[in-house]
Structure formats: structure tokens, C-alpha cells
Amino acid sequence: MPRPVHRAGRIIEIDDDVAEGAAWLAARDPRFADALERVGPLPLRRRADGFRALMGAIVSQQVSVAAASAILARCEAAGLDDPANVLTADDETLRACGLSRQKIRYLRALAAHGIDYEALRDGHTDEVVAVLTEVPGIGRWTAEIYAMFSLGHADVFAPNDLALQEGARMLLGLEERPKEKAMRAIAEEWSPWRAVAARLLWAYYAAEKKREGIR
């Protein structure tokens, strides 16, 4: 039975969806074919959506993965992964979890914003980005990553991501790392599978870093 057509286009739900997109990209551009042969099957990387997903994105800003994981674990243990509890918690309770003053402000704004997460599941990518970027602390990159991995949109890219820019520079043989505007234009060529192109570029960038011994 065919899947219903989503307003955002194809939705990546299973590994076969990623494989289909990768095959399309490889057939379109031999550089993608070479990269895919090198990095192997691409990961699905689907995540849950909702308040907790965006809370994790805010907590992870400008801290290490280990630090973010520890903060989130303390927040969850204190019941602060629920918007109602965030709104009623005092500053001392939130700070005890390791949250900075700025992140406390961002999380309260997110909790108070009343986002209809279920409705976002049916939204076009542009609508998702517009809704999420109304919240202080959530920029376009975070909104695009949310659409990509929490909602499974197949035709979304994050052109301001430095690893994607550098991966594109290396794979495409560009003299300079493309900035956001140029990267967005380049990625148009990879529609309707831009999210799979992103997965491939991230994997290629990681492989190149390892080969060159870059830390």
C-alpha cells in the first residue's frame, strides 16, 4: 500500500528510504557515488520529536556532548523534561541541573510557547522552520535539523552547518568552503533528497577528518 503524500514531500522513516535517496544521488553525481562507496550505508538517524527534542537542542548549545548528556539526565530526573514543570520550577532548581541563565530563559520560552508538535508533523518544512524560529534560542539551523531528523523530511538541508560546508568543499573540489547562501544554492541540485545528501556529506567529512588525522 503506497504511503500517503506528505505536504513536505517524502518522509524518511526506515533505512530503505535513506538507501533510495543515496542511490538517486549516486546516479546523479559520480562524486556522490564515490563517496558512498567509501563511507558505506548511511545512517537513518531518526529521533523523537516534541518538547524533549528541542530541549536537547537548546541544552547542547556550546557545550560538549558529555556535558549536554549529563545536564539532560539531571533535568529528566527532576521531571524538567515536561514544559509544565519547567514553567513552575524556580531558578535554583533549574540551575542545579547545570543550566545557565540564558538556557533557563530559552527553555522557559520554549515551554511557554505552546507549540502544537502534532500539527508540526503535518507541516511543510518552511512552516516548521517559521514556527520554531519564533522561540528565543532556536535558530534556523536547529529548526532544519529538527525537520530533518525528528520529522523525517527528506528534502531539507542545513546550509549553515560547518561540517556540511566543509564536506561539500572537499567532495566537490571547491577552492573555498561555501558560506550559507552559496551552500543553500548548491544543495538545490540535490532536491528532493537533500537530507540524504546531508547524511552523506557528514559521513564523508568524518571519513576525511579521520584520514587526514584532523582533530
- Picking from 92, 86, 16, 82, the residue whose alpha carbon sits closest to that of residue 50 is 82
Reported in sequence order, the residue ranges of the chain that DSSP labels E, i.e. its strands, are none
Mean pLDDT of the chain: 94
| pLDDT of res. 212 | 54
Q: How far is CA 49 from the centre of its chain?
A: 11
| Element holding 121 (H helix, E strand) | none
| Element holding 194 (H helix, E strand) | helix 194-212
Peptide bond into 43 cis (omega under 30): no
| pLDDT of res. 194 | 98
First to last CA, the chain: 47
DSSP-derived 3-state class of residue 38: helix
| pLDDT of res. 211 | 63
Specify the DSSP class assigned to residue 62: T
DSSP string, 8-27: TB-B--SHHHHHHHHHHHHH
Grid cell at residue 215: 582533530
User: How buried is 31 (Cβ within 10 angstroms: 0-12 exposed, 13-18 middle, 19+ buried)?
Assistant: middle
| pLDDT of res. 213 | 46
Grid cell at residue 143: 529548526
| pLDDT of res. 7 | 82
Write phi, then psi, for 57 (nearest 5 degrees): -65, -40
Q: Is residue 104 a contact partner of residue 95, using CB atoms and an 8 Å limit?
A: yes
| pLDDT of res. 215 | 36
Residues of the chain with pLDDT under 70: 1-4, 211-215
